[in-house]
Structure 1
Amino acid sequence: MTTTSRRIEEPAEVPRPTPNPIPSSSPAFGTPIHPIIPRRTAPIPAPPGLKAVAPALKPTILPILLPPATLRPLAFRTFTKKHNLTLTSSALQALATFIGRHCGSGWREEGLAERVLEEVAKSWKKGGGQAIVDGEGETLKAILKVLEGSMSGGRLVQGNPSLSRQGSMKFGIEASVQELGGPRPGLGDSQSSFGISSLEVEDLEEEEDVLKDPREWINVIGAFEQPRLVYNVNKKHFENSTTKPSLFPLPSHKTDLFRQRYYIVHQRILRNETFQTPSFSATRSAALTRTSSISTSQTNKITPVANLLGRSGSTHLLLGMLAVSPTGTLALSDLTGTIALDLQHARPIPEDGAYFAPGMLVLIDGTYEEDYNNPASGSNSALGNTGGIGGTIGGKFIGFSVGHPPCERRSATLGIASSDQNTNQPSGTITGPAFGWTDFLGLGSERATGARMSRLAGRLLPPTSAHTIAIASDLHLDLPNTLSALRILLSTYTPHPTDPNPVYPLAIVLIGNFSSRATLAGVPGAGSIEYKEHFDAVAAVLSEFPALLARTSLIFVPGENDAWPSAFSAGAAAPLPRKSVPVLFTNRIRRAVAEANREVWGPGGAARLEGTSKGKGEGKKKEGEVIWTSNPARLSWFGVKGEMVLFRDDVVGRLGRTAIRFRKPEQTSDDGNAQGASPGPANTEDGTETQPMDLDPPRPTQNQAEQLDADTKTARALTRTLLSQSHLSPFPISTRPVHWDYSHALNLYPLPTALVVADREAPAFVVRYCGCTVMNPGPIVEDTGRGRTGKARWIEFDIGSGKGVVRSEG
């Protein structure tokens, strides 16, 4: 008892310590040494030299009701395609509810939903979940609960400890790139599929300050280097092919070649407004008429060929490929069957404005007539087909009008702000995106890198100066006047030494044939030794212009008479695409460019000129280079900012030999004009032309009588045919051989910024159609008549304005 009393009374004898200004580390528990101090009422002053920071306001998100069906394609691509997981309906419902509540309306445009789905999939796999993601269990609920506490303003917070503990997502991209419309953070391994890592999308200002030469952002993509994308009908988007392309593919790949062409054109047509039923109004839009449509109904609907059975006498609109049946008659084939065509009274739309040949996908409006005299109607005993699906159905389809599928602008495909004056939409309007996240060339997608590339292009390509690309074709080096024409071209772009502000072209494209005769085909004077000597002569001419060689890029595209395909084709149409000219014949030209770089830039290269008196004001310049590429090839500048297709082929001659001839009506109207004559540009109610094709310079207005010569008609017909078909070679393989696994390099979808069709049989022209500039430079040696060939001819294209002009000097 004594000991106990002493212990109780000891605290009363100990004097109270002075208040400690430092609070206890455990303020909830008072001790004699560190008692509880009353709470301060005055605010704690900020340390000297520092400003008080206001508390950050948490951004608010307006929840939306997101249907699971709307989220299904994105969730399927993330979970199933990438992570091999299967979503149940309950899991999809839970994800849709979570994303709609925490991401709001920015779930699609800002890429918020994909980051959440990516994190959920990785967390599920890291937690050892099964292949089936079930929304009824506790695992998915726990993952969503962790993510809910890690989100702010619809975005996953960078550096959140809950995410770092799971270690399933890395945030290494600056927030400034997000504000500029750059890549979406948190994509992880999916960056390559969306084209984010190829261009180093990180917004590095130091890198941009160093790369001040626009040529640093120009890339040449060969046909054998282009990514192979296939269109998935079920997912309705492009995806990388799972098989490696080969020059000796399986026979089934031949069928896939035409099936992919049909899929691309079909999905493009279905997005056209005239093939969509109006939601609130039945007023017919005139857009399809302006793009060479053939239908006059309010809403166009495509009927499969197999659905014609039993519907004799009814009018339909068919989409299929023109083909020649084994009996020699013209037929139309789609994925469901084949029907014989009767185009005796059909009219092409537009008149004399396009080519229609077997192998092309066309729209035909007409009536189906069933063959009742044949007891086996719906079958073709000669072909061994029974029934309609998969073979030739009985009867015939009487066509009234035939037209090409409507073309789709590049801005509509990639979701680029449209600035073309020929469109009905105001300038700056985003008309998509349909495939904004698809990387077609392996250089980055529009949604991932478009904003940054546009900003760089605006800074490095000022509108006050020209940034041109010179294009010449048919350089027959075995003819003496060709070297003279090449010398004229090079001297045109070589500034005078006293010029204070010299301007050089970004690139000079030289397209074959580099020999007028087939090389290595046994033709006298066209052997390997002579072929190499021809390029040695080109190297001698190039050595006369070292200043130009050191500041531009030389690009060589082969033709039919160039090695090695000419060794076995003898100058005939070799399979497309073709590889570049072998290095064996081009060493002297490479040496000439390297010597020009050493003469102009010095031993240390162009980087030594930065900050020196010799290169003052030029910044870091790129040295001259020579590129030997394939046929066809693509030249890209600033990623997806611009794209030029380089193609060498005699397309006009092949179209003239295989095109269908429509009967001309001989009736005459009351005013004396023939009804079969080619009409001028008709105008719709809104004042826009039905055939939106303009030449450079622009063509006459409606009030002026437009008299088109034969060359202009040929140029327009060739342009409309290739761009509407979205393919460089819309012919059967028997007419134009193509490597099956590399046919994707011939696609013109999305529509390029410029298309160069080097055709020696077509006139030199520059035509602009649907925002694409189509050019044919013609032979570099211009025939002035009476056997005189003293002038050089080529095309000069400005990548800033997107305009080209045919130049002739000499």
Structure 2
Amino acid sequence: MDIEAVDIVDGQKSAAKTRTAPLFRAAQRSAHQNPIPSSSPAFSTPVHPIRNSKPPEPSKPSILPILLPPATLRPLAFRTFTKKHNLTLTSSALQAFATFIGKHCGSGWREEGLAEKVLDEAAKSWKKDGGGVIVPGEGDELKSILRDLERSMRGGKPSQQRGLSGQRSFAFENTSGDTTDLGPSPGALGREDSEASLGLSALGVEDSGDTTSSEDPRRWLKIVGAFDQPRLIYNVNQKHFEAASTVPSLLPDPSHKTHLFRHRYNLIHQRLLRNESFQSSSVASARTNSLQRSSSTIATTQQAYKITPIANLLGRSGSSHLLLGLLTTSPTGVLTVNDLTGCIAIDIQHARPVPEDGAWFTPGMIVLVDGVYEEEGSSTGPGLDGNRGVGGTVGGKFIVFSVGGPPCERREVTVGVSGASKDGYTSAGAGFGWVDFLGVGSERAAGSAMRRIETNVLKRASSGDLAAGRARMVICGEVELDNAKTLQALRRVLGLHAAEQADQTPMVMVLMGNFVRHAVMAGGSSGESIEYKEYFDSLASALSDYPTMLQNTTFVFVPGDNDPWASAFSAGAAVALPRNSVPDLFTTRIKRAFSTAGAEAEKATGKRADGEAIWSTNPTRLTLFGPAQEVVFFRDDMSGRLRRNAVTFRPLQAAAQSESNIGPDQKGNGDATAMDKEQESSEATDVDAAVETAESYIPTSKAQDSASSAALSDLQTARKLVKTILDQGYLSPFPPSDRPVLWDHAGALQLYPLPTALVLMDPEAPPFAVTYEGCHVMNPGPLTPPGRKGVAQWMEYDARTRRGRTREIRL
């Protein structure tokens, strides 16, 4: 009996053992004999019931229950749930497991490893059911798992026959004596799958190892609008994201405006505290103090930066501090820095930006300022004497020496991708790996599975030429439909890609507004609603000429500020973000064109095409293979607004002249200006010497020099714009008076974690493709660039290389 019980637990019971012996087989009945015996004594009904043909099930081994304290079980539960499955048990859940294990495992819970098997099976079931990171003991989910465990317990351990982890390995005997397997083999189902608890259901995929379900990467494409993505709030106490409890509204309470800036500050503050430069080590500090006492000539390690709350400046006049706060302008016109504890006026007369001419700093941004606090007898800010301390404006002023943006954090660090695993795919470590930021699955739940699918699908979809391939996205900016040249340029772009093979056409084509040159229904030259609908009817006529594109490509339309209905009252000014899509009233003809193309494909091939047109919001997000790739599309005149509102610092020449009066002994390591000039002069000397010693030297003309200088200037502008936006981690770092924001939907403007790519359509900035901290930022520019006649330009993004490039064609 013992040997047979072990075989049942391990799921390895053979067919020979399942056959009944002849002694216990039921007697053969004739065909006319009733198989159901009568209960009447006249028919000689036996006293005892008739034995069935199936053998008796083995009796359960008797387990003597014990009283197991939760404190005794805590180390094993921590090793199983936290270390192995990245889950956290509450005290009530630990008490429930201690009671269950003491009752069903008995005294062998530790020596025989029974408790570890129960905890491991419970953790798998919890993650299979989509449970969160914290396992509570009060809910019905854990009670349901314990009930299933109780029904499957055999000899103090969970039986594999019940299949708590979705396993089914029953073997039954058919009439011929062979065994029939009704499920996958135990080897195929016995592996641990810790990534199938969240997000995979939203993508319609199971992490079963099958990554060949679709060769078209558009199968794994999803458009997430600004009003559809989850609303998450960072909890400072728990240091984790949680879903917003309030219902979003376009007219919320005024307190939600405060929560908007508080949430932005908390995100950047926690991001800085996890940065290496802001983490101090007690071991290093103790070692530094001992070295300083022993010898003053020994070089010590650089101390970590420390952020000082503004309220703590009181009584510390003349001391240097590093502040993190929101840069604002007071009603009296004085620049101030605000954090959660107070506000202080700043003096930027001697301040230098970091890096020099590398970013813009405008009111509405969260900045790092380094300087000295000076406490004055007469306050310089509004209401300084009456509102000292927490919550008010601190008296005195803060002399700023340097201003910089908070350092950016890479996407891998935020979601906790620690590196490559043994199977060649990245694995999740620390960070916010369990947070589902877009509703397509978290990194812990779907990251590894989606990356396996991404590798296989993109490998099959790729071609020899990187300029072609299914995994491309075509991005056209400033598609002004009221301009005949724009429609001509769009036809050229569509014809170029429609001439390719059906399996090599781009999977996505994004058309970004403004779709008209002037605000609609605001008395401008673009007309009213009737004219606006006629513009889209012209676009539908142009699209109908290329049915191949309509049948195999997803078209995404991102509106601008001049598109309805927001332009009806803004008259071309900046509208509130995020803004909704173009109303369906104007898009009926385009939808009809896609339906016609799909019907023609079904008539020709017998299979209906799945091309579609998606009218999305501004901004909008595109996810490819779940959390593996995220692309953000945003239309805004960003660079012009930054130039108009940026804080002006002293010119570099004036700063260098003032520093030239300082002796060489008084200059510290922070004299970056002089060091940069010396480096530039040395580099220039090396270049001149190399040119003189060259065998052949062709002098460049003035036109070539001006073109190269213009290219360098455009590149500098692009880098400056990219660093400003990504360091803030926010698409609209401006005061509400300059760029209104819907307070309850401001989470759609967050760039945290950093996306894989960001398409920033800014017609006032030059076209560029720049990578910063792993995020590839692109600006396609207008489809018909001003000042260049007969040229159409657009951007193509390749999902395989995760890089974009600017393309042009003559009209």
CA contact (8 A) 2:136 2:142 kept: no
Instruction: Give the one of 469, 474, 480 matched to 1:476.
Output: 480
**Does the alignment pair 1:507 with 2:502?**
no
Instruction: Tell me which residue corresponds to 1:276.
Output: 279
The residue type paired with residue 343 of structure 1 is: I
CA contact (8 A) 2:124 2:165 kept: no
1:182–1:549 Cα change, 3 Å? farther
Instruction: Tell me which residue corresponds to 1:599.
Output: 600
Instruction: Tell me which residue corresponds to 2:495.
Output: 491
1:241–1:96 Cα change, 3 Å? farther
Instruction: Tell me which residue corresponds to 1:457.
Output: 454
Matches within 5 A, 1:332-347: 332-347=337-352
Instruction: Tell me which residue corresponds to 2:466.
Output: none
The residue type paired with residue 460 of structure 1 is: V
**Does the alignment pair 1:648 with 2:635?**
yes
* 1:198 partner SS: helix
Instruction: Tell me which residue corresponds to 1:242.
Output: 245
What are the Cα deviations for residues 190-222 of structure 1, in whole angstroms up to 9, with x where unaligned? Answer: xxxx4343123433678x655332111111111
Alignment partners' CA distance in 1, 2:184 and 2:548:
42
Instruction: Tell me which residue corresponds to 1:535.
Output: 536
CA contact (8 A) 1:315 1:368 kept: yes
Instruction: Give the one of 719, 741, 746 matched to 2:744.
Output: 741
Alignment partners' CA distance in 1, 2:329 and 2:216:
53
The residue type paired with residue 625 of structure 1 is: E
**Does the alignment pair 1:230 with 2:227?**
no
**Does the alignment pair 1:215 with 2:215?**
no
Instruction: Tell me which residue corresponds to 1:582.
Output: 583
Instruction: Tell me which residue corresponds to 2:430.
Output: 433
Query: By how many angstroms is 1:178 displaced?
Result: 8.8
**Does the alignment pair 1:203 with 2:207?**
yes
Instruction: Tell me which residue corresponds to 1:701.
Output: none
CA contact (8 A) 1:449 1:639 kept: yes
What are the Cα deviations for residues 645-700 of structure 1, in whole angstroms up to 9, with x where unaligned? Answer: 000000101100111111134336999xx9758949999xxxxxxxxxxxxxxxxx
The residue type paired with residue 261 of structure 2 is: F
1:181–1:472 Cα change, 3 Å? farther
Instruction: Tell me which residue corresponds to 2:46.
Output: none
1:274–1:524 Cα change, 3 Å? closer
Alignment partners' CA distance in 1, 2:82 and 2:192:
28
Instruction: Tell me which residue corresponds to 1:15.
Output: none
Query: By how many angstroms is 1:592 displaced?
Result: 1.2
Alignment partners' CA distance in 1, 2:186 and 2:726:
39
Count of matched residue positions in the alignment of Structure 1 and Structure 2 = 652
1:652–1:202 Cα change, 3 Å? same
Instruction: Tell me which residue corresponds to 1:54.
Output: none
**Does the alignment pair 1:448 with 2:445?**
yes
Alignment partners' CA distance in 2, 1:760 and 1:471:
14
Instruction: Tell me which residue corresponds to 2:10.
Output: none
Please provide the CA RMSD for this pair.
Answer: 4.5
Alignment partners' CA distance in 1, 2:753 and 2:101:
31
The residue type paired with residue 790 of structure 1 is: G
1:210–1:201 Cα change, 3 Å? closer
What are the Cα deviations for residues 394-434 of structure 1, in whole angstroms up to 9, with x where unaligned? Answer: 11111111111111111111123558xxxxxxx97768431
Alignment partners' CA distance in 2, 1:680 and 1:538:
54
Greater shift, 641-650 or 308-317, is seen at: 308-317
The residue type paired with residue 358 of structure 2 is: G
Query: Which protein has the bigger helix share?
Result: 2
Matches within 5 A, 1:314-353: 314-353=319-358
**Does the alignment pair 1:630 with 2:617?**
yes
Q: TM-score, normalised by structure 2?
A: 0.71
What are the Cα deviations for residues 547-586 of structure 1, in whole angstroms up to 9, with x where unaligned? Answer: 1211101111000110110111011100001111111111
Instruction: Tell me which residue corresponds to 2:55.
Output: none
Instruction: Tell me which residue corresponds to 1:517.
Output: 518
* 1:709 partner SS: helix
**Does the alignment pair 1:760 with 2:760?**
no
Instruction: Tell me which residue corresponds to 2:316.
Output: 311
Instruction: Give the one of 373, 378, 394 matched to 1:368.
Output: 373
The residue type paired with residue 218 of structure 1 is: L
The residue type paired with residue 237 of structure 1 is: H
The residue type paired with residue 808 of structure 2 is: S
Query: By how many angstroms is 1:522 displaced?
Result: 2.1
What are the Cα deviations for residues 324-345 of structure 1, in whole angstroms up to 9, with x where unaligned? Answer: 1122111100111111111111
Alignment partners' CA distance in 1, 2:478 and 2:435:
35
**Does the alignment pair 1:794 with 2:794?**
yes
**Does the alignment pair 1:183 with 2:195?**
yes
Instruction: Tell me which residue corresponds to 1:133.
Output: none
The residue type paired with residue 368 of structure 2 is: L
The residue type paired with residue 236 of structure 1 is: K
Query: By how many angstroms is 1:253 displaced?
Result: 0.6
The residue type paired with residue 248 of structure 2 is: P
The residue type paired with residue 794 of structure 1 is: W
Query: By how many angstroms is 1:600 displaced?
Result: 2.7
Instruction: Tell me which residue corresponds to 1:422.
Output: none
Alignment partners' CA distance in 2, 1:87 and 1:504:
56
CA contact (8 A) 1:470 1:796 kept: yes
* 1:663 partner SS: coil
Alignment partners' CA distance in 2, 1:230 and 1:580:
25
Q: Among the aligned pairs, what percent are the same residue? A: 46
Instruction: Tell me which residue corresponds to 1:569.
Output: 570
Greater shift, 409-418 or 70-79, is seen at: 70-79
CA contact (8 A) 1:177 1:183 kept: no
Unaligned runs of 5+ in 2: 1-19, 26-72, 103-108, 169-182, 289-300, 464-468, 665-670, 681-707
Query: By how many angstroms is 1:777 displaced?
Result: 0.6
Alignment partners' CA distance in 1, 2:258 and 2:163:
45
* 2:202 partner SS: coil
* 1:368 partner SS: strand
1:121–1:77 Cα change, 3 Å? farther
CA contact (8 A) 1:150 1:157 kept: no
The residue type paired with residue 799 of structure 1 is: A
Query: By how many angstroms is 1:482 displaced?
Result: 0.5
The residue type paired with residue 753 of structure 2 is: P
* 2:574 partner SS: coil
1:574–1:70 Cα change, 3 Å? farther
Query: By how many angstroms is 1:524 displaced?
Result: 4.4
CA contact (8 A) 1:758 1:778 kept: yes
1:95–1:229 Cα change, 3 Å? farther
Alignment partners' CA distance in 1, 2:531 and 2:185:
55
The residue type paired with residue 223 of structure 2 is: V
Instruction: Tell me which residue corresponds to 1:780.
Output: 783
1:595–1:429 Cα change, 3 Å? closer
The residue type paired with residue 646 of structure 1 is: F
1:418–1:488 Cα change, 3 Å? farther
CA contact (8 A) 1:73 1:235 kept: no
Instruction: Tell me which residue corresponds to 2:54.
Output: none
Alignment partners' CA distance in 2, 1:512 and 1:473:
6
The residue type paired with residue 444 of structure 1 is: G
Instruction: Tell me which residue corresponds to 2:718.
Output: 715
Query: By how many angstroms is 1:601 displaced?
Result: 3.5
The residue type paired with residue 613 of structure 2 is: V
Alignment partners' CA distance in 2, 1:526 and 1:553:
29
Query: By how many angstroms is 1:298 displaced?
Result: 1.7
* 1:457 partner SS: helix
CA contact (8 A) 1:413 1:432 kept: no
The residue type paired with residue 195 of structure 2 is: P
The residue type paired with residue 345 of structure 1 is: H
The residue type paired with residue 549 of structure 1 is: L
Instruction: Tell me which residue corresponds to 1:413.
Output: 414
CA contact (8 A) 1:796 1:807 kept: yes
